[in-house]
């Protein structure tokens, strides 16, 4: 059946035009309180303290679901006291403003308390994904000049003890199970430190430009980059929560991203708390039945997840989803990599709700392009640019190439953003030259190729270094992957360009199949034919290879560069963020 090109906008939400007409960054800053007495702007004050002191103290701030069935709730007043104690514990340990506090914790309540307490102490939060092994941890601790690390005793013994000699200045605070004291000499104990700390705190003066967050992003081959974000980023976190995710006070909000990644911090901690929502936290890993039960039983209003999770749910069809009811659920959004059109329609079939794609980067700090609740969705599009943000499609500007703005609709180029939004990264820590190269002619070059249609919708083409050049055609892998996923046998697809002496490159697709389908030459030919029918012979893949699963980062992105490196026998580069890696 032919799918419609446009999905109608949601019911009560204001139109995109109204959002743009009524918005200014001055207004967005006025939505927040600022520190009392004009002492500046602090993320944790906006996320917790102002609610605890203004009558929302009894409202649930965090509802935590343990992987073994445990359940714990912290209202805003309790979260205020606990984060105050951690801030005071940091000060007692000699950790001061501007010094980096790293976390290496799973999704447990202590992670959220530590994150907010760090920001209250005006120290810098540097969250790490808990599945990292010793080497990627050491690289990030070194780049960030780590002052204190919060982790569990088990993680310490397995991952930190082998590298500890290289960090003589680093203090380590250990979280024990069930608030028991830990027993590792030379470390601080979370339970003891928290009991000794006062639960009252007045946050010190905080400039909006003070460093607040350090998020790491891996280069294609080089060492990780530490993207610096400041306290003013909270203006963006709050505004995008309201505008792009349709978050409202009192909502139950579930962001499935781990706080070890930027999404899990910006929207898995800060944004929903600034709005006054209840943040749902699930400690367990992905399990389709568990997730659906949570959506139903916890009455989730807004769900923010990743395309990988959506595609994994799609493997089981719609029956599992439709066996339950989701009376509170009104908005589903996705981020991490482009959302294939078929996934948008699957949301309609399964939940009676479309899935709204949006786009941003570690460097942008917050959502920049989105399918808003009050606008039509064009499946496959990233949506429209956030009010207050200026975007353009550009050509050149790198390696001395002439720089030009692309003004015609439908023409591919690099997506560029005009600097000035509140959550823009302020640097790569210790790499000023690398940072400066991101900006050309007054624009931030994102490294993502896109095109804009006549109505202002932006369409992702691919990473600049992923685009395939074949017989004079520039082919975006996402378009080919999306066509393949429409076939009923295909669960996931990753597309690369394989060198060819005649065409320069030919399109090769790696495919993971849904349960019930087996690899065969006949199926490969069928998939090629399907893609040719959808895309034309010039763009469709010339080769199909079947894999049990595709290499992905732990945040869900398909690692096309790894597929290409393995295909060509090239060095694999930085694989520290690879799912299942160490």
DSSP SS3 for 367: coil
What distance in Å separates the CA atoms of residue 270 and residue 558, rounded to the nearest whole number? 27
Task: Dig out the tokens for 355 from the structure.
Answer: 């899935």
Phi, psi of 353 (to 5 degrees): -140, 135
Going from the N-terminus, what domains does the chain have, and what CATH number goes with each? 74-232 (3.40.50.980), 468-568 (3.30.300.30)
| pLDDT of the residue at 131 | 80
pLDDT in tens, 241-275: 999 999 999 999 999 999 998 999 999 999 999 99
Q: Which residue bears the tokens 């949006």?
A: 358
Task: Single out the residue of 114, 113, 164, 100 nearest to residue 134, CA to CA.
Answer: 164
Task: Single out the residue of 219, 240, 445 nearest to residue 335, CA to CA.
Answer: 240
Pairing state of beta strands 146-152 and 171-175?
parallel
pLDDT in tens, 112-169: 999 999 999 999 999 998 888 888 889 899 999 999 999 999 999 999 999 999 999 9
Picking from 53-62, 478-487, 554-563, which range would have the lowest pLDDT averaged per residue? 554-563
Confidence of residue 468 (pLDDT cuts 50, 70, 90): confident
How remote is the C-alpha of 565 from its chain's centroid?
25
DSSP SS3 for 486: coil
pLDDT in tens, 179-188: 677 778 899 9
Q: What average pLDDT does this structure show over 29-57?
A: 97
Q: What average pLDDT does this structure show over 46-61?
A: 97
Phi, psi of 475 (to 5 degrees): -115, 125
How remote is the C-alpha of 476 from its chain's centroid?
22
| pLDDT of the residue at 574 | 60
What distance in Å separates the CA atoms of residue 50 and residue 60, rounded to the nearest whole number? 14
Picking from 10-19, 53-62, 322-331, which range would have the lowest pLDDT averaged per residue? 10-19
Q: Are 336 and 361 in contact (CB under 8 A)?
A: no
Q: How far is CA 291 from CA 65, 143, 257, 333, in A?
A: 11, 36, 13, 15
Q: Are 466 and 448 in contact (CB under 8 A)?
A: no
Confidence of residue 70 (pLDDT cuts 50, 70, 90): very high
| pLDDT of the residue at 136 | 83
| pLDDT of the residue at 169 | 93
- Mean pLDDT for the chain overall: 91
Confidence of residue 575 (pLDDT cuts 50, 70, 90): low
How remote is the C-alpha of 22 from its chain's centroid?
27
pLDDT in tens, 269-308: 999 999 999 999 999 999 999 999 999 999 999 999 988 7
Q: What average pLDDT does this structure show over 8-15?
A: 74
Sequence-ordered list of residues with C-beta below 8 angstroms from that of 518, at least 6 positions apart, any chain: none
Task: Dig out the tokens for 290 from the structure.
Answer: 């568990």
Partnered with residue 459 across adjacent β-strands are 451
What distance in Å separates the CA atoms of residue 265 and residue 277, rounded to the nearest whole number? 15
Q: Are 120 and 97 in contact (CB under 8 A)?
A: no
DSSP SS3 for 510: strand
Q: Are 208 and 197 in contact (CB under 8 A)?
A: no
More confident residue, 536 or 576: 536
Picking from 132-141, 495-504, 513-522, which range would have the lowest pLDDT averaged per residue? 495-504
Q: Are 423 and 235 in contact (CB under 8 A)?
A: yes
| pLDDT of the residue at 10 | 63
Confidence of residue 221 (pLDDT cuts 50, 70, 90): very low
Residue 220 has pLDDT above 60, yes or no: no
The per-residue DSSP string of 438-449 comes to: TEETTEEEEEEE
Q: Residues of 228-253 as b/e, b for ≥16 C-beta within 10 angstroms?
A: bbbbbbbbbbbbbbbbbbbbbeebbb
Sequence-ordered list of residues with C-beta below 8 angstroms from that of 327, at least 6 positions apart, any chain: 299
| pLDDT of the residue at 212 | 98
Q: What average pLDDT does this structure show over 343-361?
A: 94
Phi, psi of 346 (to 5 degrees): -60, -40
Pairing state of beta strands 331-334 and 369-370?
unpaired
pLDDT in tens, 407-446: 999 999 999 999 999 999 999 999 999 999 999 999 999 9
How big is the CA angle at 202 (ends 197 and 203), to the nearest 5 degrees? Answer: 100
Confidence of residue 553 (pLDDT cuts 50, 70, 90): confident
| pLDDT of the residue at 406 | 94
Task: Dig out the tokens for 159 from the structure.
Answer: 């991952």
| pLDDT of the residue at 552 | 80
Name the DSSP class of 333.
E
* Number of CB atoms found within 10 A of residue 537's CB: 10
Q: How far is CA 313 from CA 157, 290, 343, 491, in A?
A: 36, 11, 10, 10
Residue 1 has pLDDT above 60, yes or no: no
pLDDT in tens, 314-335: 888 899 999 999 999 999 999 9
Residue 581 has pLDDT above 60, yes or no: no
């Amino acid at each position: 059946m032919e799918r419609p090109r446009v999905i109608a906008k949601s019911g009560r939400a204001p139109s995109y035009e109204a959002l743009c007409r009524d918005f200014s960054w001055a207004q967005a800053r006025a939505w927040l309180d600022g520190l009392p007495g004009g002492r500046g702007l602090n993320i944790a004050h906006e996320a917790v303290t102002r609610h605890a002191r203004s009558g929302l103290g009894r409202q649930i701030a965090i509802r935590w679901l343990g992987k073994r069935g445990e359940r714990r709730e912290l209202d805003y007043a309790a979260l205020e006291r606990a984060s105050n104690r951690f801030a005071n514990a940091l000060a007692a340990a000699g950790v001061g403003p501007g010094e980096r506090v790293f976390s290496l914790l799973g999704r447990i309540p202590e992670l959220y308390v530590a994150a907010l307490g760090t920001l209250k102490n005006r120290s810098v939060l540097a969250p790490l994904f808990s599945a990292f092994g010793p080497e990627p941890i050491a690289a990030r601790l070194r780049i960030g000049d780590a002052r204190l690390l919060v982790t569990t005793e088990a993680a310490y013994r397995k991952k930190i003890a082998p590298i500890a000699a290289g960090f003589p200045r680093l203090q380590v605070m250990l979280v024990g199970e069930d608030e028991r004291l830990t027993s590792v000499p030379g470390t601080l104990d979370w339970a003891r430190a928290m009991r000794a700390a006062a639960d009252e705190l007045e946050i010190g003066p905080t400039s909006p430009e003070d460093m607040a967050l350090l998020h790491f992003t891996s280069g294609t081959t080089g060492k990780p980059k530490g993207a610096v974000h400041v306290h003013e980023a909270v203006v963006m976190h709050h505004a995008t929560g309201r505008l792009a995710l349709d978050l409202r006070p009192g909502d139950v909000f579930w962001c499935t991203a781990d706080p070890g990644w930027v999404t899990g911090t910006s929207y898995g901690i800060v944004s929903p708390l600034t709005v006054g929502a209840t943040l749902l936290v699930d400690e367990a890993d992905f399990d389709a039945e568990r997730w659906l039960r949570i959506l139903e039983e916890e009455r989730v209003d807004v769900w923010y997840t990743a395309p990988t999770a959506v595609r994994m749910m799609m493997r089981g069809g719609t029956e599992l989803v439709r066996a339950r009811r989701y009376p509170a659920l009104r908005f589903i959004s996705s981020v991490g990599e482009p959302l294939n059109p078929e996934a948008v329609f699957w949301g309609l079939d399964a939940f009676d709700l479309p899935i709204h794609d949006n786009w941003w980067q570690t460097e942008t700090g917050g959502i920049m392009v989105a399918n808003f609740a009050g606008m039509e969705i064009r499946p496959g599009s990233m949506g429209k640019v956030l009010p207050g943000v200026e975007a353009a499609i550009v050509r050149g500007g790198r390696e001395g190439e002439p720089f030009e703005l692309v003004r015609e609709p439908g023409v591919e180029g690099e997506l560029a953003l005009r600097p000035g939004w509140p959550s823009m990264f302020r640097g790569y820590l210790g790499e000023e030259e690398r940072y400066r190269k991101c900006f050309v002619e007054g624009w931030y070059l994102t490294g993502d190729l896109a095109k804009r249609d006549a109505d202002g919708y932006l369409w992702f083409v691919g990473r600049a270094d992923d685009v395939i050049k074949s017989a004079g055609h520039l082919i975006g892998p996402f378009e080919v992957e999306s066509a393949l996923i429409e076939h009923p046998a295909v669960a996931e697809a990753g597309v690369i360009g394989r060198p060819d002496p005649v065409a320069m490159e030919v399109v090769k697709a790696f495919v993971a199949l849904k349960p019930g389908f087996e690899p065969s030459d006949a199926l490969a030919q069928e998939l090629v034919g399907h893609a040719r029918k959808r895309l034309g012979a010039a763009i469709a893949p010339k080769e199909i290879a079947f894999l049990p699963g595709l290499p992905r980062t732990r945040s869900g992105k398909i690692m096309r560069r790894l597929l290409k490196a393995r295909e060509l026998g090239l060095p694999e580069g930085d694989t520290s963020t690879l799912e299942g890696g160490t």
